[in-house]
Amino acid sequence: MERNNLYPIFLKTKNLQVLIVGGGFVAEEKLTFLLKSSPDANVTMVSPMFREDTIALSKKGNVKLINKKYSRRYLKGKHIVVATTDIPKVNETVYKHCRKRSILVNVADNPPFCDFYMGGIVTKGNVKVAISTNGKSPTTAKRLRQFFEDVIPENVDDLVKNLNEYRKTIKGNFEEKVEKLNEFTKSLVEK
């Protein structure tokens, strides 16, 4: 059976520079998901055209729009790049330029040209769940996201905050603290 070997991480996009190449619907979709999860993300978009909705969305975040064709100079200082143009040759060029510079890159809808995928995300306060289908089925990830949004209670954030306060009061070494917290939270997963 095939398995998902991706390693999930949660990025502090406030500390990183993200570039989106393209200004069409896919670019707007990527920007929407990015800002929904990380409203403080630093994003630059480069494209000869931008949708009106993208321009409006960019004003809600820390987003800089550059109304020009892609050039490798826009990679300077960038940590993560998402290529979304409808011209495969441009997307592949972006990919090659990023590989040369060790910049993480995602070419939308082209798994062989991706260092990472942007999966489904559920956020409830401090709790965030990321869902990956290994790039095979974004629709399944979407349905799982909807499922988790329904089953994770809205007050889970209160639990997280209370447990954090409780953790600070526990005496003993690391192992003893983990044991007490495990005992305390066991009822969360009991059927």
CB-CB contact of 124 with 156 (8 Å): yes
pLDDT, tens digit, for every residue of 91-101?
999 999 999 99
**20 and 90 in a common domain:** yes
User: Same domain, yes or no, for 60 and 123?
Assistant: no
The pTM of this model reads 0.86
| Number of domains into which the chain is organized | 3
Asked, for residue 8, whether it belongs to a domain, the answer is no
Average pLDDT, the chain: 90
CA 127 to chain centre: 14
In terms of domains, do 131 and 107 share one?
Answer: no
Residues 128-143, mean pLDDT to the nearest whole number:
87
Average the pLDDT over 20-25 and give the result: 97
Higher-pLDDT residue of 179, 96:
96
Which residues have CB under 8 Å from 67's CB, separation 6+?
47, 48, 49, 50
Looking at the structure, tell me whether residues 108 and 147 fall in a common domain.
Answer: no
- Flag whether 19 is in a domain: yes
Domain extent at residue 173: 157-188
Rounded Cα–Cα distance for residues 140 and 144 (Å): 6
Q: Domain check: are 23 and 108 in the same one?
A: yes
pLDDT single digits (tens) 39-63: 999 999 999 999 999 999 999 999 9
Q: What do you get for the CA distance between the two ends of the chain, in Å?
A: 28
Does one domain contain both 111 and 22? yes
Residue 78 CB contacts under 8 Å (≥ 6 apart), including other chains: 17, 18, 19, 44, 103
